[in-house]
């Protein structure tokens, strides 16, 4: 891994304030889990959530699927996931290097949510190629929360404040934005930036990995200013 991603992983494995309070975290992960579960086509579906973060409501997805694989690169988060879901028979927690060992064409649905902005374009292309080999012929890759090319922090701020207002943590969101501005997240974002993609660029990158892709009608999660894509092996 390059220096950029290792620095981001260290941040996400630390005590940070991207979630302004427990209510924010609960709303965020519950929304994600419900929207991912809605994409599961059948009860025997094998799902991979790659770069899942804390995934505190992954049980919602697991109830809709035959098997849910949670992949997280940050070791502290991964250990917490293993403890949290130890009693769930159809949830497995794996590190990224273990994903490459999965049987070819064995997955029905892969979710890559809010990840590509922290990767280099080359790293994202390599990941897409890996996923192409893991998906069944009729499988689906969902790449969501993609930062548009030229996307601004202002749009992300507006989305968070709207979420806070709708879910009872608006004041906490305002305070949390100030803490984030003074945090390592802002310093990392200023230093490395976030990798953004135009729609043609993302579709081309997915195409180069062997997918037929299109922009999804809506993003997954609370941020309507970011973009999701559906991709199927061709």
pLDDT per position in the chain (234 positions), as tens?
445 678 777 777 877 778 889 999 999 999 999 999 999 999 999 999 999 999 999 999 999 999 999 999 999 999 999 999 999 999 999 999 999 999 999 999 999 999 999 999 999 999 999 999 999 999 999 999 999 997 767 888 999 999 999 999 999 989 888 777 766 666 666 565 689 999 999 999 999 999 999 999 999 999 999 999 999 999
Task: Give 19's contacts (C-beta < 8 A, 6+ positions apart).
Answer: 25, 28, 176
Whole-angstrom distance, CA of residue 169 vs CA of residue 91: 31
Whole-angstrom distance, CA of residue 211 vs CA of residue 131: 10
pTM of the model: 0.91
Whole-angstrom distance, CA of residue 53 vs CA of residue 114: 10
Whole-angstrom distance, CA of residue 216 vs CA of residue 213: 9
pLDDT digits (tens, 9 = 90+) for 169-189: 999 989 888 777 766 666 666
Whole-angstrom distance, CA of residue 69 vs CA of residue 181: 33
Read off the CATH number of the domain in which 182 is found.
3.40.50.150
Counted domains in the chain: 1
Cross-strand pairs, 140: 109
Can you give the residue range of the structural domain that contains 59?
A: 3-233
| Residue listed under structure tokens 């497995």 | 92
Whole-angstrom distance, CA of residue 233 vs CA of residue 174: 42
Whole-angstrom distance, CA of residue 180 vs CA of residue 134: 37
pLDDT digits (tens, 9 = 90+) for 38-60: 999 999 999 999 999 999 999 99
């Amino acid at each position: 891994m390059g220096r950029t991603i290792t620095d981001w992983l260290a941040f996400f494995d630390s005590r940070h304030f991207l979630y302004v309070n427990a209510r924010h975290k609960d709303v965020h992960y519950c929304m994600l889990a419900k929207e991912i579960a809605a994409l599961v086509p059948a009860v025997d579906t094998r799902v991979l959530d790659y770069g899942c973060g804390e995934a505190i409501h992954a049980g919602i997805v697991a109830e809709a699927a035959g098997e849910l694989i949670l992949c997280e690169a940050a070791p502290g988060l991964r250990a917490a996931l293993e403890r949290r879901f130890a009693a769930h028979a159809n949830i497995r927690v794996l590190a990224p290097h273990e994903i490459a060992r999965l049987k070819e064409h064995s997955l029905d649905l892969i979710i890559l949510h809010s990840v590509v902005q922290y990767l280099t374009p080359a790293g994202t292309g390599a990941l897409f190629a890996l996923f192409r080999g893991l998906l069944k012929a009729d499988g689906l890759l969902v790449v969501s929360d993609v930062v548009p090319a030229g996307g601004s922090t202002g749009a992300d701020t507006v989305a968070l404040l709207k979420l806070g207002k709708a879910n009872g943590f608006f004041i906490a969101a305002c305070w949390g934005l100030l803490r984030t501005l003074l945090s390592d997240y802002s310093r990392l974002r200023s230093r490395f930036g976030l990798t953004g993609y135009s729609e043609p660029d993302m579709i081309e990158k997915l195409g180069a990995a062997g997918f037929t892709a299109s922009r999804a009608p809506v993003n997954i999660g609370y941020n309507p200013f970011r973009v999701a894509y559906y991709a199927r092996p061709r």
